[in-house]
Amino acid sequence: MAVPDSLDFEGLRRGYRESRFTPLEVVEEVARRIEKRGGDSVWIALVPPEELARHAGQIETWKKEGRPLPLYGQPFAIKDNIDLAGCLTTAACPAFAYAPKTSATAVQRLIDAGAIPVGKTNLDQFATGLNGTRSPYGAPRCVFNESYISGGSSSGSAVAVAAGLVSFSLGTDTAGSGRVPAAFNNLVGLKPTKGRVSIRGVVPACKSLDCVSVFAHSAANAREILQVMEGPDPADPWTRAIPRPPPSFPEEFRFGVPFESQLEFFGDAAAAGLYTAALARLEKMGGIRVSFDFVPFLETARLLYHGPWVAERMAAVRTFYPKHANEMDPTVRKIISGADSFSAVDAFEGLYRLQELRQQAAQAWQHIDLLALPTTGTIYTVEQMQAEPVVLNTNLGYYTNFMNLLDLAGLALPAGFRANGLPFGITLAAPAFTDLALAELGEKWQEGA
């Protein structure tokens, strides 16, 4: 039997059980597929063949020793702002590159569970953007139409999964970077609760908001990956204890939908129709639709790029920026340089405003269990995005930018295709540590697809 086209978990596991191929044969096939696709701008660096063979041999040894390997032989990709020992970390900025001596905590836990790292993927530089065009390594394209953006900032990670080059991948998500590329490439994108997964070994965008995210073919697979990575890390002060038992949703769950006047599809009537269909599908699953006021969420979203959290992006590169600003992507540089317009007083006032908005947004949770939103209101071509890089990127964050500021978990799900063949997605979101409950709901969603 040939290695499955999609490299999905179930297909690989079945093949391994039936001895139809080995982990080494799988990663050799992965290398062939990557070479065949050629210059697709997905990869910044690939793990050398001899190192892939070493990883494959190591997990075979562990298997013989009886070691638990829940991700045995699953090839995965790593966004290149996350450390993998032996590979440069660039954050899509060659002048920034460094050689980490150890892998990020999340990466190491995946390797210890039997997964095989294939390489480092392209991204919007310093994880600043939701579109996938802000990189000197090129712009990965939507797998369904190369004229369209792949979404960012975790662009290469999403395309690597959607193109059948790996079985799953890691992204990061500060403003929507683990969800937007999922929607544009018909994938599941899991954005965990802040602190559920260690961010040690991750180049920060906004350290107080950053999350390591997952791209996978199914919510069930994304849940498995999360459960391998999660848990406290003594080396990371941002990790949090996971409550036990975890929160769950009632069988007749209440899902929140913004008032009609607050929905925005930026002229994309096909996306609006698919969203309507998705809401009807949730109702068939036992959900009860409840309208809520989206304004506090939108106001919170504005703080991320129009408030003092821009200064946190400068904090991430403060020693690099003074000497290397001219070596950065112009749009990224312009965004980060906005930090100069904020003071320490502004930072505190921003925190005060965020606390007010959190209290206002909390009123919605008295009537709903989760939000059901479009992941994005529309999708753009690469040409459109390059012509209006800031305005259109802001549009892409309409339903995503507030989430980490309000301490929510999120799960992006495929939700059909437009007549032109481009995918649409929805995102389910709920308060912190509802990750597993969202994944369970996502599994039911996909079972009924």
Residues with catalytic roles? 79, 153, 177
Cβ burial, residue 431 (10 Å; 0-12/13-18/19+): middle
Q: Is residue 102 classed as helix, strand or coil in its secondary structure?
A: coil
Sheet of strand 212-216, all strands in order from the earlier edge strand to the far edge: 43-46, 116-121, 75-79, 168-172, 212-216, 188-191, 408-417, 423-431, 370-374, 254-258, 288-292
- 280 contact partners, CB below 8 Å, separation of at least 6: none
Residue 446 tokens, joined: 């996909």
Cα–Cα distance for residue pair 322/218, rounded to 1 Å: 43
Is residue 349 within a helix (H) or strand (E), and if so which, with residue range?
helix 344-362
Q: Give, as one character, the DSSP assignment of residue 165.
A: S
According to DSSP, residue 149 is labeled B
HSE-up of residue 283 (Cα within 13 Å, Cβ side)? 10
C-alpha separations of 15 from 1, 19, 245, 302, 327 in Å: 8, 6, 35, 48, 46
Query: Residue 288, SS3?
Result: strand
- Alpha-carbon gap, residue 11 to 13, rounded angstroms: 6
Q: 106 exposed, middle or buried (CB, 10 Å; 0-12, 13-18, 19+)? A: buried
Burial of residue 223, with CB atoms counted within 10 A of its CB: 0-12 exposed, 13-18 middle, 19 or more buried: buried
CA distance 442 to 427: 10
Q: Please report where in the chains the tokens 């040894």 appear, as a residue.
A: 61
